[in-house]
Amino acid sequence: MKRLQDLGEFGLIARIERLAARAHAKTSRAVVLGMGDDAALLRTLPSEDLVVTSDAYVENVHFRWATQSASRIGRAALVANLSDLAAMGARPLGFLLSLAAPPTLSVSVVDAAVRGMLELAHKSACPLVGGNITRASETSFTITALGAVPRGRALVRSGAHVGDALFVSGPLGSAALALARAEASGARIRHRASPRLDLGRALCDLPGIGACIDISDGFSADLAHLLAASKVGAMFDASAIPCEKNFWRECARLGLDPKQILLAGGEDYELLFTVRGRFASAQVLSRRLGIAVYEVGRIIPKRSRRKSDLPKGWSHF
C-alpha cells in the first residue's frame, strides 16, 4: 500500500493538481490563476461583493474513516462550505483545501476523498484553486470557499423582521436519521446532503427576503442564530417542518425521538429563511422559484409573551 510519506508533500500536491485538472475541464472564468503560485487570483464583477467562508472537517470529531466511504467524507467536507455560500445567496468562485494528514495514511484513501470532493466541486462550478498540505496526527480537511453575490444583496442572518414568514427549503432530519440507521445496522452512512446553491441565488434575486441561514447545527440551533442576529423571536409549527417519507416510522423503529432528530439533528444543509410581502406564501414562492419551499412559522418580537395567541402545536422559541 502506497502511503503519503512515499509521495511527499510536493508529490501529493502534484497528484491533487492532476485530479483537479481532470475534474475541472472547464475552469471558472473567475479564476485568473489557480494552483501552483504563492496565492490564487480570482476576479469578481464590479457589481459584486466577495463572499468567503471556512470550515474544518476533522477525523474523530466530524467523521471516522470506518463509518463512511472516503469519497463521501471528502464530499461532506466541501458541502458544509458550499452550504454557507448558498446561505448568503452567492455563486461559487472556487475553493482552497488545507489538508492535514498522518504520513502513514493510504494514498488511495486520500485520492478517493479528493475525488469525492472534486466531483461536488465540478457539479457546483467551484474549482479547487489552492491550499496547502501538512503532516498531522489526525486527518482534517479545512476548506475555504469563495463566492460572489450582487453588491449589497447578500442574504444575511440579521435581516428578519417581525411579521416575516419563516421557511425551510426541504426535509430535515435525514442526515441524523441516516447516521442512526448506519449505527444500528453497522453499515456505512449513505445519505448525501447537497448545498442549496441554486435556491440561495434565486432568493437573492427576489424582493422581500429577510434573513437566511443554512441548517448545519440543526433547525433549533440555527434558528436561534438567525433570531439572535436579527434581534427578533419566532414561533414555529414543528409538524409543518418537512421530513422524508417514512421518517416517523423509521424513528419509531430505531427507538429515536423524532422531534429531536428533526429539530436538532444537524447536517441537513437546507436553508432557513424569512420572507415578507407578496412572496411570503409557500405556494407563491415555490411557483416563482420553481423550487419547493415550506412555511413553518413566523417572526415575532423578541420578548413576546403572547403564548396564548399561538396555534396549538406551535413552539415558542
Site residues (vs a copy of itself, CB under 8 A): 32-33, 36-44, 46, 49-56, 58, 60-62, 84-85, 87-88, 90, 96, 98, 100, 129-132, 134-138, 140, 142, 144-147, 149, 151, 154, 156-158, 212-214, 229
Q: Are strands 294-300 and 271-275 parallel, antiparallel or unpaired?
A: unpaired
| CB of residue 315 to a copy of itself, shortest distance in Å | 22
| CB of residue 229 to a copy of itself, shortest distance in Å | 7
In the bound state with a copy of itself, the residue whose beta carbon lies nearer, of 199 and 243, is 199
In the bound state with a copy of itself, the residue whose beta carbon lies nearer, of 62 and 115, is 62
CB 5 within 8 A of CB 109: no
In the bound state with a copy of itself, the residue whose beta carbon lies nearer, of 24 and 177, is 24
| CB of residue 212 to a copy of itself, shortest distance in Å | 8
List, in order, residues 6 or more apart from 66 with CB less than 8 Å away.
Answer: none
CB 226 within 8 A of CB 317: no
CB 255 within 8 A of CB 183: no
| CB of residue 41 to a copy of itself, shortest distance in Å | 5
> What is the rounded CA–CA span in Å between residue 131 and residue 76?
18
DSSP 307: G
In the bound state with a copy of itself, the residue whose beta carbon lies nearer, of 36 and 301, is 36
| CB of residue 222 to a copy of itself, shortest distance in Å | 9
Q: Which amino acid, residue 17?
A: E
In the bound state with a copy of itself, the residue whose beta carbon lies nearer, of 130 and 171, is 130
Phi-psi region of 255 (alpha: psi -120 to 50; beta: other; left: phi over 0): left
